[in-house]
Structure 1
C-alpha cells in the first residue's frame, strides 16, 4: 500500500499548514509529514497511530476536532476518510493548541501595536485588496477600519502607489502628497511605500504615512506667535508695515514710495492689484505709517461675506431688529478712529454700494433696526482685484462710489513685471519654509531659477510662496531644487508650453509646424488658436474680458472659442489630480 500511495496525497501532506498523517483502516501509518513528526516526536518504530492518539474516539466525532494531551502538549486532531483504488484511507490533521493560541495572541498584539502607532499604516495584497488599516489612519482620513479593510484600493482612493510598488518591487521614498479619498476629502501627508518580498515575489505592499497637517498647523501658529511677539504694532490688529514688503525692483520701490505719501493723507485710498499681489499688506503698511497707527485696523473681505449678512456686519444691529438680533457693532464702529479696509470692493452688491456711498457722504452710520446715527471717524481703504475702470464699465462698481474711494490710488504691480524681485522673494520663501519644515540647507538650481523667471505667475506672490513651500516639502534637506520638484500642475503646464514652444533658432514656419506634429491646415490652425487663447488667459489671470481684449475679439466670441476648444479654467482641486496618496 505504501508503494501505491499516490503522489497527490504526498503533495497534499507535504504542503499542509498543520500536521498530517495518512493511515489505512487498521491505523497503520502510511505517511506522516514533517510537522506531525515534530508534534508527536515520531519515530518509525511506531507504525500504529492508535498507539499514539485515541483514533476510535476521533473517528466517532465524524470529522469534528478532538482535543487530547500528548507529551505535555494540548493537541487538536480531526480525521477525514478517502479512497485510493478502492482502498479506504484516513487523513488525520493535528495541530498544537498552544501554538495556535500563541500565533493568535501574537497577531492580536501586533494589531494592537499598529493601532497605537501615531503614523497611519495600510497594507494591500497582490490583488489590491486592503488587508491592514490601522486606527490612526482611520481617524486621520475620517473612515472606519470596517469600512476599509477588505475593499479594493480603487474603491477608497482616487489613485494609489501600491500598484507601482507591486510591479517594480522597489520602495517609494519619503514624499509629500496631497491626495483625495473617494468621498472627495483632501488629505496631506508624508510617507513611504514598501513591497513585502518572499522567495523573490512581492506578496504584499504597505505604506507608513505621517499626517503633517496638525504639525504644519502648529508650526504655522508658532511662527505667527513669534511674529506677534516681535511685532510692535500687534495691538492694533496688524502684522505688516512697509519694512515687511520684500522687493528691490524700481516699479516696486516707486509703489512703496507712493503708498508712504498716501499714508500721511486722511483721504480714502483705493488699492488695485491682481490676486496675490499683497493688497492687505499695503493697506496695513499705510495704516501703520499714518497718524492713526495707534488705533484699530479692521479688515473685511466683501467677496467672502454673504449678501444677507453684509449689511449687519458693516453697520451693526440693534436688539430685536430681526429674529435673534443683538446689539452688535459694525466694522465702521469697530474701526473707531483707525482704518477700515474693505477688500475686493468690486465684489460688493450694488445695493450695498449705495448704502456705503451714503455713509461716506454723511460720515455717519445707522445700525440695522436703529433710528439714530453714529458718527464715522475711521479712514477708508479699499481694494479691487480687477481694473476699477473696467469694473465701472461693466457695472460691478458704481461710478459715483469709485470717485469717492479713489481720491488716492495705489497700483501694485503683478509679479511678472517685478523682474529681479522674483528671485529675491523665492530665496526669502525658501528660507522661511525651510525653517518651517526643518530643512535649512535647500538651494535653488539654475534651471529652477530660469523657470521662475519664465512663468507668468497668475497667482502672483501668493502663488510663488505656495510653489516654493510645495517644493521644500518634497525635497530632502541639503538638496537643490529642480523642475521635478515642482507641483504636478506646474510640471504639466510647463510640458504643455514646451510642446508648442518655437525654437529661437527656427529658420521658418515649417519648424514650428513640425513641432505641432500635425499635417493638416485645420488641425494646425486649431492648435495655434488654442495656444494664443491659453496664453492670453494665463497672462490675464483667466479674466475673460481682459483676455478677449488682449487678442482683439469680443468676450462672447472668446467664450464660444473656449467651449469649442475645450478650454476650462483650472480649479485648485483639479490641479491636484496628478498627486497620489501613499498607496
Structure 2
C-alpha cells in the first residue's frame, strides 16, 4: 500500500518543487526540495510541520487539515513564512496515507510561484545555473546543438525546446541564458503544469491592489525577469485563455497587471519547453497555432538518451564524479555487468533517470564499483534497448552501426590501446582502424 503512495509522490514531484512525508501526528519523516532550496532534508526530519512553518496553525496547515479530515486537498494556495524567516508562496496538493482504514501519515507536493519562483543565481557549478560546458556529449547532433546555443544566446528571439521528459530542457534553457549577454540578469523558471490556470495570469503579469479580494500590488514573472530570461516549462499545459494574453505580451513587449490600467514595457527573453512534439500539441489543440509560431522562432528538438547511446557511459562517469564529491564516496565506476546493463537499458526517463539510478546506487552500494545488485528493481522492468530502437523506427543499418560504434568505444576505453581493443573484440587491428575511421572515433 505504501508503495502506491510512493508512486503517487513520484508523479506529484515530477511537476513540483518540494515533497514532504509526515506521520499521522504531523512530524516530518522525509523532505526533498529541488536543488536543496530553502532546506536540506536533515534540517527538517523530526520537526513538526507547525514548527517548520510557525505562522501556520492546526486549522490553516494543509497537512494538518488533510490528516484530520482524511481527505485529499488539491491546489491549496499558501503564503508562508518558514522557520528561517523566508517568505514562501506555494501551491500544494496533499494526500492522506490510509492503510486498513487508518490514516498513518500524509504526503504533500508543492510548487513555488510569485517571488518564490524567482531564481537569480550566478552562472557556475556552485549551486548556480548550468553553462554550455555542462552539456556532456559525444553525440554529433548534440555537439551541433552546443554550437547553435552559442549563436542564439546573443539574440532575444523566443526559443521553443521540446523533447521527452528528462532529456535536459532546463539544462539547455539555462545554458542559453548563461552563454549570452543576459547572463548577469535574472533567470526565472516556472513550470506551467504545476500552477492552477486561474493563477497564471496574475503570476505572469502581477496584480494591482484591490484587483480582487486580498490582492496587493505585486510584480509578475515578466517584470521580475526584466533584462533577463523567463523560462516557461510545459507550456503545452496552459489554458487557451492565458495563451492569448501571453501571445500579446510577446508580440508587443508590453503587458498590464491584473486590475491595472497602464501598459508596462518589458525586455524579457522568453524560452518555452514542452514534452510533446509540435505536431501533437497542434493536432490536439493544446497550443494555439499563433502562439506556437511566436514562441518557436528558434525551435530546438532534444533527442532521447536511447538515440544517443554513445553518451550513456560519459554521462555515467560524470554523475559518479558528482556524487563522489557530494556524498564523500570513492566509487570508481561501473562493473562490466553494470556497463552491459546500462548500454542495454532503454532509459525511458532519459538523462534524469540515469542520474537517479546512479544516485540510488550510491545509497546502497558498499563496494568500490556500481554493480547490478545496486540498481533499482524498476530498472530491470524496462524493455531492452534493442526493442526501443525498433519502436523508434531506426533503420537496421543505423541501429547496427550505432551499436558497433559503442562497442568499439567501450573496448578502447577499457583497454587503452587499439591492439588490445582489437584482441578484445576478436577482430584484426587493421579492421578496427577502418571501423574507427568510419565512425570518426579518435
Same fold (TM over 0.5): yes
Aligned length: 287
Residue from 192, 203, 215 that aligns with 1:302:
192
Cα displacement string for residues 213-241 of structure 1 (whole angstroms, at most 9, x for unaligned residues): xxxxxxxxxxxxxxx7xx65699x95111
Provide the residue aligned with 2:166 in structure 1: 276
1:405 corresponds in structure 2 to 295
Q: Where does residue 395 of structure 1 map in the other structure?
A: 285
1:482 paired with 2:371, answer: yes
Partner residue of 1:423? Answer: 313
- On the 8 A contact 1:255/1:411 being kept in 2, the answer is no
Alpha-carbon distance change, 353 to 438 in structure 1, aligned in 2, over 3 angstroms = same
**Of 266, 271, 291, which aligns to 2:156?**
266
Query: Quick check: 1:359 aligned with 2:249?
Result: yes
Return the match for 2:266 from 376, 380, 385. 376
Pairwise mapping of residues 161-200 of structure 1 onto structure 2 (< 5 A)?
A: 182=99, 183=103
CA distance in structure 2 between the partners assigned to 1:266 and 1:304 by the alignment: 26
Q: Relative to 1, partners in 2 of residues 1:241 and 1:402: Cα closer, same or farther, differing over 3 Å?
A: same
The change in CA–CA distance for 1:402 and 1:284 in structure 2 (over 3 A counts) is same
Residue matched to 1:324: 214
Q: Measured at CA, do residues 371 and 453 of structure 1 come closer, stay the same or move farther in structure 2, by a change above 3 Å?
A: same
* TM-score, length basis structure 1: 0.46
Cα displacement (A) at 1:389: 2.1
Change in 2 beyond 3 A, CA 1:346/1:455? same
Offset at residue 435 of structure 1 (A) = 2.9
Structure 1 residue aligned with 2:322: 432
8 Å contact 1:458–1:539 — kept in the other structure? no
CA deviation string 1:464-512 (max 9, x = no partner) = 000011011100142x322221112223x16xx58xx99xxxxxxxxxx
**Residue in structure 2 matched with residue 10 of structure 1 by the alignment:** none
In the alignment, which residue of structure 1 is the partner of 2:352? 462
**2:312 & 2:333 partners in 1: Cα distance?**
15
Secondary structure of the corresponding residue to residue 177 of structure 2: helix
**Correspondence 1:285 to 2:175:** yes
Q: Which residue of 2 aligns with 1:167?
A: none
Cα drift, residue 537 of structure 1: 12
CA contact (8 A) 1:366 1:374 kept: yes
2-side partners of 1:430 and 1:466: how far apart?
A: 11
Asked whether the 8 Å contact 1:439–1:477 carries over to 2, the reply is no
Aligned mates of 2:242, 2:132 — CA distance in 1: 32
Equivalent position SS for 1:246: coil
The correspondence for 1:385, drawn from 248, 252, 275, is: 275
What residue is the counterpart of 1:450 in the other structure? 340
1:538–1:275 Cα change, 3 Å: farther
Using the TM superposition, give the Cα deviation of residue 279 of structure 1 relative to its aligned residue in structure 2, in angstroms: 0.9
Structure 1 residue ranges without an equivalent (≥5): 1-119, 121-137, 143-179, 188-227, 503-531, 541-583
Say whether the 8 Å CA contact 1:319–1:325 is kept in structure 2. yes
Name the larger-Rg structure.
Answer: 1
| Cα deviations by residue, 1:383-402 (Å, 9 ceiling, x for unpaired) | 11110221011110111100
Over 3 Å counting, the alpha-carbon distance change for 1:385 and 1:361 in structure 2 is same
Gaps of 5+ in 2: 1-28, 30-44, 50-96, 108-120, 394-442
From the superposition, tell whether residues 185 and 412 of structure 1 become closer, same or farther in structure 2 (CA, over 3 Å).
Answer: farther
CA distance in 1, matches of 2:372, 2:131: 34
Whether the 8 Å CA contact 1:458–1:538 is kept in 2: the answer is no
CA distance in 2, matches of 1:276, 1:252: 15
